[in-house]
Amino acid sequence: MRPTFMGFESSKTALFASQKALDIVGHNFANMSSEGYTRQRTDQVAVESYSYKNRVSINAMNYNGLGTNVNGVSQVRDQRLDTAFRNIYSETSYYNKSNAMLADIENVLSEVDIGIEGNGYGLSWGIKQMYSALEDFASNVNVGGDASIFAESVKNITTLLNHISRTLTDTADTYKMELQSEVNDANTMLTKVADLNKQISEMMSTNGYTNQYGPNELIDKRNVLLDQLSSFGKLVVSNNADGSVNVTMNGHMCIEGKNADKINYHENSNGTVSLTWKSDGTASDTDYGTLKASTEILNGRGNNISSGTETTIRGFQYYEDYLDTFAGKLAEILNNTLPETKDADGNVLTYKKLVGESDYSNGKISVYTDKYVTAKNIAISDDLAENPSYIIYDKNSSENAYMVELLGKLSINTQTFSNGVETFTGTFQDYIADYVGKLGSDVQYASSRYESCNKYSEQLLNERDGISGVSETEETMSMLTHNKAFQAAAKVMTAMDELLDVIVNQIGALG
């Protein structure tokens, strides 16, 4: 026997379900442009009436047509796409950061712009103006004016070396500061994800949420944070039964339920930086992501690494080495070619010193010509600065063999430049072309890898949107469908009412 008011019940469920569905459609429309929003839908199922649910066996046919039930509001999300996107995003961020840093280094060490008389503004120009001054002076070795011009050119190239080296260090310092704030950001995100984990697991246990129907907005927030975190390093996310997630970054478990680890930033005495996990001191910048890009290039010394904190990438330290070797070689040649004193047989005893290491102390800059110079501290010697004619051998003579030798060494003959492990044999100009070429190749590689990874990550985002994004047409259709369903349910209810009205009011009424 059919229950009397059963029709009302099934229509009522339909009305409730349609209203809820329309609420969710409205919610989807409202959040169409919200960052990280995953479209939601009501999971509507028909109500079952099977005897296995009851103690007493029932005649199922009387209980068919119980209406509909909304099991929950689910998110439509594909975990595989999330994982794929996070992986490629950490790679994209890695190459983006590398590209930016290397491009900045290239700006500092720029050599091929037009510059002064078509020779750029960098060390190529420095060599060129020294060469021109020296050629003029070699033809007029007794002329004080030409000696002054040559002395000026030596001063120019030493000042240029100081400036380029200092700018490179300053650029590295700005990236160190940026790394510190990135580490802070990462730590904040790790804490936030752990907090969200706590909230989600509490909601799951107290509000009757299940794994399938969880607190969707909180989960969306957490996913946005995990996407952002993936830019710092390679993430592996695993779900726990209580709704929280465990996150491994670069192979280290950094979020375990409600607990989050922290990254420590530390600058070492040799200028390198280290990023370690607070819990166990292991390195936190081991696999893709901006953290690895930053530390690799900040600590990068190429093949010339001399300590465990340096990396084999050609970074700031590597190019600093190039500049220091350039300065060292320049000083070696300038300070060991023009003779100062000779013995009776004409063998050279001491050489004139044209450059030295400058040291600022006691409010005074002194130049020491017997110490090892670097690009930062090379300076014109006091003798040459005070009197450019210091380099004139004899005011009455045009003998210029030593000047010609200096000319040859600086611009024509090959030298051996040793940067530690790597050595290079060529002229000064070839040496410049060598490091500029290496840097250009690295920038070009990082740029092209970034473009390709970026394209792929955009494609994954589009695929993800295809699953999780809100489609206006689809939602409109849902809206029309549920609207119609609501109207239909209301009509059914009216029809049921009329039926009951016949039964209640009209059957058995006489007259």
Torsion angle of C-alpha atoms 43, 44, 46, 51, degrees rounded to 10? 40
Report the SS3 class of residue 306: coil
Backbone phi, psi, residue 56, to 5° = -100, 140
Q: Are strands 68-75 and 423-426 parallel, antiparallel or unpaired?
A: unpaired
* Interactions with other proteins, residue window 188-227 (CB under 8 A): none
CA-closest candidate to residue 469, choices 153, 32, 114: 32
Nearer to other proteins, 120 or 328 (CB): 120
- Cβ–Cβ < 8 Å for 217, 196: no
Residue 395, CB-side half-sphere exposure with 13 Å CA sphere: 5
Q: Which of 368, 364, 296, 302 is nearest to 335 (CA)?
A: 368
Q: Which stretch binds other proteins (CB under 8 A): 43-51, 130-138, 172-180, 272-280?
A: 130-138
In the complex, the smallest distance separating the C-beta of residue 51 from other proteins, rounded to whole angstroms, is 41
Residue type, 267: E
Minimum CB separation of residue 492 from other proteins in Å reads 24
**253 contacts other proteins (rule: CB under 8 A):** no
The number of CA neighbours under 13 Å toward the Cβ of 192 is 17
Binding other proteins by CB under 8 A: which of 147, 249, 391, 439?
A: 439
- The smaller minimum CB distance to other proteins, of residues 103 and 493, is found at 103
SS3 341: strand
In the complex with other proteins, the residue whose CB is nearer, 271 or 426, is: 426
CA dist., res. 115 & res. 127, Å (int): 14
Does residue number 83 form part of the binding site for other proteins (CB under 8 A)? Answer: no
E-assigned strand segments in 215-347: 235-239, 245-249, 252-256, 259-260, 263-267, 273-277, 339-342
Listed in order, strand segments (DSSP E) in 7-109 are 40-46, 68-75
Interface with other proteins, residue 440, by CB under 8 A:
yes
Stretch that binds other proteins, among 56-64, 224-232, 305-313, 427-435 (CB under 8 A): 427-435
Binding mask 387-426 for other proteins (x = CB under 8 A): --------xxxxxxxx-xx-xx--xxx-------------
Q: Which of 167, 476, 487, 494 binds other proteins (CB under 8 A)?
A: 476
Contact characters 138-157, other proteins, x per CB under 8 A: xx--x---------------
Q: Containing H/E element for 78?
A: none
Query: Does 82 participate in binding other proteins (rule CB under 8 A)?
Result: no
Question: Among 108, 432, 485, 496, which residue sits at the site for other proteins (rule: CB under 8 A)?
Answer: 432
Name the residue nearer to other proteins (CB basis): 32 or 60: 32
Smallest gap from Cβ 113 to other proteins, in A, equals 6
Nearer to other proteins, 239 or 459 (CB): 459
CB of 45 or CB of 412, closer to other proteins: 412
Range 197-228 burial, b when 16+ CB lie within 10 A, else e: bebbbebbeeeebeeebbbbbbbbbbbebbbb
Site for other proteins in 27-66 (CB under 8 A): 32-33
The token duo for 189 is 């995100």
Least separation in angstroms between residue 181's CB and other proteins is: 26
Give the nearer residue to other proteins in terms of CB position, either 309 or 447: 447
Task: Fill in the per-residue mask, 87 to 116: x = in contact with other proteins (CB under 8 A), - = not in contact.
Answer: ----------------x--x---xxxxx--
Residue 290 burial (CB < 10 Å; 0-12/13-18/19+)?
Answer: buried
270 or 459: whose CB is closer to other proteins?
A: 459
Q: In this structure, what DSSP letter does residue 115 have?
A: B
Q: Could you say which residues in the range 320-379 bind other proteins, by CB under 8 A?
A: 339, 348
Encoded one letter per residue, x for contact with other proteins by CB under 8 A and - for no contact, window 447-466 reads: x----------x--xxx-xx
CB atoms within 10 A of CB 362: 7
Contact positions vs other proteins (CB under 8 A): 32-33, 103, 106, 110-114, 118-120, 124, 127-128, 131-132, 135, 138-139, 142, 339, 348, 395-402, 404-405, 407-408, 411-413, 429-430, 432-433, 436-437, 439-441, 443-444, 447, 458, 461-463, 465-467, 469-474, 476-477, 480
